[in-house]
Structure 1
Amino acid sequence: MEAAEAQTVILRLLKAAPGLQIGYFITDNAHALCNQIRARLGIQLVTQQWDVFSQAFWELIARRLIFIGGDRSLNQCRVWLTERGQRAANGEQFNPEDPTRYMERLLEAAPRTSDTTQQYLREALKSYEQECFLASSVMLGGAAEDTSLDVAASFVSWQGKPADNLKAILENPKQFYVYKLQQFEKRLTAAKGSIPPDLSENIELNITTILQLIRLTRNDAGHPTGRRVDQEDCYQNLVVYANAHRKLHRLKVYFDEQSDA
């Protein structure tokens, strides 16, 4: 088990057993910790990796997801989830406070996500984890742009010759990406009647959401305007992006499958 996975287990453990004694994490007693995990969560660990859990414990403190208190003597102190930690432990579908699970769920819902999108999104999550919210926003903008252009390319292949003009726009390195995406949005909306209803529902909203994220991140945060991005805005942008990404990915899969048929 890696430290990132161990962090998730600790968050779940503290949700099930708030105020757990700190000794489970700072005393080399893997057997006791594993017993707690098995009793509270029903998880049977194959190997007792106390060192991995100890590392994960201190990383969670650094991320401000857990805190220690309750007694002047360290050995008698207990451990609780912070507000952010509670949010991470609640198991929301796309939770930036748990970046490992966030990516797992995103890729489960959108397995054809490009390597470039994954790279930028992981950087966005890592920056969020380190509380570099401005940097996270810029990386998220890169992920959103790549996602949109990836779906646009699949749309062009699906439409064939009628989309030659859009293809030329997308492949023109001198065209601004905002213009490319606006043209894609225009043609996608026009083709809505040819797309199955379960995929075309709210299609304009999903594209607009992505364009708005790009504007806020790449345009505003990505230039030295002095604009600040707080933790809550950054959190919400990552959640909104994941849901829009999932829906756009379904469109991409449909276009690809129809093109290959």
Structure 2
Amino acid sequence: MRLPQHSYEEVRDAVVSVLLRPDGHDYPSQFLSLVAAVGMWFHAQAPRPQSGGITIYTPGDDLHPADAESVREVFWDLFRQGHITLGLNNSNPAYPFFRLSRFGRESLGTSAQNRFHDTASYIHLVQSRAPDLSPEAATYLEEAVAAFYAGCYLSACVMIGVAAESEFLRLTAEAAGSTRYPGTFAAPAKETFLKTKIDKFQRALEPIRSNLEPRKKFENLDANLAAIQAILRVARNDAGHPTGAAAPDRDQVYVFLHLFPAFAEQVHNLRLALA
């Protein structure tokens, strides 16, 4: 069985995950062993048929040819960026041997917090940025990630949108009871239609934006408010209703999954600032 094709970013995440394994845990030291390790990484994430509750692993599963070429691109991109050093040691000083540079291990290790590979790691990523994520939103996100890895992109998109809507409705409800800004968010809280609720919330927020503290946490407020609208409009409305719009593809859902942690963090910060 051939595995499905993945995006460049997904392949890069897989390469980085493989390269950051602790020494002694099948760390690849040659390019072809890296390709094989990435294949095993994707094999571990792919949904498998079960028989009697036991997962069936099919020998001979193949990495998609496009993914194998993406591994090559990622490898040389990481080399040009200084993350990879050609040669393993003085006995194996040249390509196809390689190793992570000191800079690569430190830099890629720092960025590892923004990667996920299953439901648990994704929820951990979101909660690291929004510690008070509601249980309801977490449940929807778990379903979204499970659907994403199962190739059910429409379902994943809808679940991301429901999670975003849940968190935004929670924000407007709490803002309506703000003691710092009494009455400021009463209108959006009473609004029934989601798009109108978002518009009224943004209008109510505009006059007090400069008062939000700490200011550093609201430097990207416009971008994150735009992300709120994008996720809710596309993921919730277009995907969740029979509008005739084309079903989302894997890359689009992948982007939404990566947008959500920043969205959740901004909503978390706004809840605290508007309390």
Is 1:254 the equivalent of 2:273? yes
More helix by percentage: 1
Residue type at the aligned position of 2:264? H
Q: Contact 2:172–2:188 (CA<8 Å) still a contact in 1? A: no
Q: Contact 1:138–1:217 (CA<8 Å) still a contact in 2? A: yes
Q: Contact 2:171–2:267 (CA<8 Å) still a contact in 1? A: yes
Equivalent position SS for 2:274:
helix
- Residue among 116, 119, 134 paired with 1:114: 134
Distance 2:148 2:61 in 1: 27
TM-score with structure 1 length normalisation?
Answer: 0.63
Distance 2:16 2:61 in 1: 13
Equivalent position SS for 1:184:
helix
Equivalent position SS for 1:62:
coil
Instruction: Compute the RMSD of aligned alpha carbons.
Output: 3.9
Residue type at the aligned position of 1:177? L
What's the counterpart of residue 181 of structure 1?
Answer: 198
What's the counterpart of residue 5 of structure 1?
Answer: none
Cα distance change of structure 1 residues 78 and 188 upon mapping to structure 2, 3 Å threshold: same
What's the counterpart of residue 62 of structure 1?
Answer: 47
Q: Contact 1:13–1:37 (CA<8 Å) still a contact in 2? A: no
What's the counterpart of residue 202 of structure 1?
Answer: 220
Cα distance change of structure 1 residues 195 and 236 upon mapping to structure 2, 3 Å threshold: same
Distance 1:79 1:240 in 2: 30
Where structure 1 has 5 or more consecutive residues not aligned to the other structure, the ranges are 1-10, 18-35, 43-55, 257-261
What's the counterpart of residue 230 of structure 1?
Answer: 249
Is 1:167 the equivalent of 2:186? yes
Residue type at the aligned position of 1:210? I
Where structure 2 has 5 or more consecutive residues not aligned to the other structure, the ranges are 1-13, 28-40, 49-56, 75-107
Cα distance change of structure 1 residues 81 and 248 upon mapping to structure 2, 3 Å threshold: farther
Is 1:15 the equivalent of 2:52? no
Q: Contact 1:94–1:106 (CA<8 Å) still a contact in 2? A: no
- Residue among 230, 244, 259 paired with 1:240: 259
- Report the count of equivalent residues: 200
Is 1:40 the equivalent of 2:25? yes
Distance 2:219 2:23 in 1: 44
